[in-house]
Structure 1
């Protein structure tokens, strides 16, 4: 009976060691898998941490660069304002009060919307006082395709003859001109070629003749008439 028990024990012992071996192999596989996962996760985490540190460094450098540039621009703006203020103070110290008053008026007009070009034109047209005539107003009948008779011109200062031509009113059926249509104004200096101006009334024209500057304004008068207002001054090129 002793031999069978010994065989049975051997079989049990063999099954035990075989099971233990399988268990150890299983644990080894689990351990290897866990180790691989740990190593992979560690490497991934390390890379992410490195990327984040790099991004933080980049953003910090960019923010510092922007801060530096902002400070530089602020410094330049402060310097520009100070320079402008210095020039203003220097100007006020030396500029005559009358000039300052004129510039103040100019700034006010520009603030109201008047352009610098228009102000410059007005200033350029200003001249010292000159000997000028009184304003005269005369009228004449405008010529049309239906009328070319008497009283179709006027003369100023015995030097400049003024006439005008327009379109007949009522779609060309009347003798008198239509003041809503364009006209042609003719200004003829004595002994010289005529000058013409075209457009809708009122029209303005100026010319220089024998040392005088003549200024004209033509506007509609009573039916069929054009009224011309004129004055003239001693001419000065400056």
Structure 2
């Protein structure tokens, strides 16, 4: 009797233990499944949110690119329009320059005529009467009865030489010619008393009343002086060391 009761108790205990173990296993299974489903839901929500955010960013980027493309296209069209305007303006300017060049070539004298115009303008600025200049031009070509040419020489002064023989008179003293040049130098650079014919010189022409005119330049030089109704003409060229040779004559003027 005792044994049977004991066996029944042991069997009941074992059955309860097996049942409790199975129930705990089911609980663990459902708990894990719930956690998995919860985690899967969270991941799904996160993925969906990320997708939506990425989609919006992609749309905004596409919109920005489209805006930039539109702006670039507008800028390109504006640049092309300005280039076309500049090309048209350049063509207009080139036509205008060509027209001005034609007018300049037609209206402004060049060559000998241009030099004559400049000389006339210079003389008028110096106070020479325009009527007198016109008379001179009108009588150009008329044979002139000039006096016999004189050839003389004198020492051209320098900063180191101011001695005698530094002038020459022409037409019985009507005009005295003198001048000054740059000091010549030896190969070692030492200054010499004579002038350097390779450098510009200054020549002075003084009449009886003390009125003086000058001309400066490289030798040979030509110069004329008009006093009353006589023109005195001179040609100056380098002579032997220290000297210049002067050929002078005088003619009725005009």
Q: Which moved more, 1:42-51 or 1:134-143?
A: 134-143
Question: Structure 1 residue aligned with 2:243, among 215, 218, 225?
Answer: 225
With over 3 angstroms needed to count, the CA separation of the structure-2 counterparts of 1:146 and 1:63, relative to structure 1, is closer
**1:216/1:230 contact within 8 Å kept:** yes
* TM-score normalised by structure 1 residue count: 0.63
5+ residue gaps, structure 2, are: 1-11, 121-132
Distance 1:196 1:88 in 2: 38
* Residue 143 of structure 2 corresponds to residue 125 of structure 1: no
User: 1:164: Cα distance to partner?
Assistant: 3.8
Q: Tell me, yes or no, if structure 1 residue 139 matches structure 2 residue 152.
A: yes
Q: Is residue 59 from structure 1 mapped to residue 67 from structure 2 by the alignment?
A: no
Q: 1:68, CA displacement in angstroms?
A: 0.8
User: 1:201: how far off?
Assistant: 4.2
Shift of 1:163: 2.9
Q: After alignment, is 203-212 or 61-70 more displaced? A: 203-212
Show structure 1 runs of 5+ residues with no match.
Answer: 92-98, 110-118
Contact 1:208 1:214 in 2 (8 A): yes
- Compute the TM-score of the two structures, normalised by the length of structure 2: 0.60
Alpha-carbon distance change, 206 to 14 in structure 1, aligned in 2, over 3 angstroms? farther
Bigger Rg over Cα: 2
* Aligned twin of 1:186: 204
1:161 corresponds to which residue? 176
Report 1:15-164 matches (<5 A): 15-82=28-95, 123-125=117-119, 128=137, 130=140, 136=149, 138-142=151-155, 145=161, 147-148=163-164, 152-156=167-171, 159-164=174-179
Please give the secondary structure, in 2, of the residue aligned with 1:62.
Answer: helix
Aligned length: 213
Cα separation, 2, equivalents of 1:234 and 1:50: 97
After superposition, the CA RMSD in angstroms is 4.5
Rate the CA distance shift 1:148–1:39 in 2: closer, same or farther, 3 A: same
